[in-house]
Amino acid sequence: MSKEKIVDWETIKREVALWRSQGLRIVFTNGCFDLLHVGHVRYLQEAKKLGDKLIIGLNSDYSVRQIKGSSRPINPQDHRGEVLAALECVDRIVIFDEPTPLRLITHLEPDVLVKGADWKEEDIVGREVVLGRRGAVRRIALTNGISTTEIIKKILERYRGKVNASYL
């Protein structure tokens, strides 16, 4: 069932129209979500509280490489999407190939656009689109010291030069 939450652009456009006709508030956020951790889960749960339906724009593998370099993502987009889809707070996931979700945000016109508090509001991509249709932009506090990059650093520091079959 959770894989059914991963939809294409045209399907999500139809679903958003249906939800809007039912008076539901559409929340959108985006990210790579490479190694899902407690910070991601808390963030997504808070985002869901801002409306009725939570849509995640998931950076494709190509997009992640454009943003973070050739060593990322760790997990392929299909796996990242499936893990996110298993979360109760997530209603739909749409994959996008660009470095930013601007085209997807313009396509969906969500009621609420959400990013982490590490983003300045004026730097949030898609802000003008959402505010232009009288929507809201919200920033959610992040869990300190927890990020995919920090997890990767911790693993590398702990096992640098020690990786062998006994750790696998």
For residues 69-98, average pLDDT? 96
**Any idea which architecture 2-161 has in CATH?**
3-Layer(aba) Sandwich (3.40)
Residue 122 near residue 109 (C-beta atoms within 8 A): no
Greatest extent of the chain over all pairs of C-alpha atoms, in Å:
58
Residue ranges in the chain assigned as alpha helix (H): 9-21, 38-48, 61-68, 77-85, 102-108, 127-132, 148-159
Q: How much is the pLDDT for 123?
A: 95
pTM: 0.90
Q: How much is the pLDDT for 46?
A: 98
| b/e sequence 27-58, b meaning 16+ C-beta within 10 Å | bbbbbbbbbbbebbeebbeebbebbebbbbbb
What is the C-alpha to C-alpha distance for residues 58 and 6, in angstroms, rounded to an integer? 10
Backbone angles phi, psi at 111, to 5 degrees: -80, -35
- As a whole number, the mean pLDDT across the chain is 92
Q: How much is the pLDDT for 163?
A: 54
In the predicted structure, residue 5 carries a pLDDT above the cut 60 = yes
Residue 121 near residue 147 (C-beta atoms within 8 A): no
| Domain spans, the chain | 2-161
Residue 56 CA from chain centroid, whole number:
5
Residue 16 near residue 26 (C-beta atoms within 8 A): yes
Q: How much is the pLDDT for 161?
A: 64
- pLDDT, one tens digit per residue, over 14-50 is 999 999 999 999 999 999 999 999 999 999 999 999 9
For residue 153, what pLDDT band results from cuts at 50, 70 and 90?
confident
In the predicted structure, residue 165 carries a pLDDT above the cut 60 = no
- pLDDT, one tens digit per residue, over 42-55 is 999 999 999 999 99
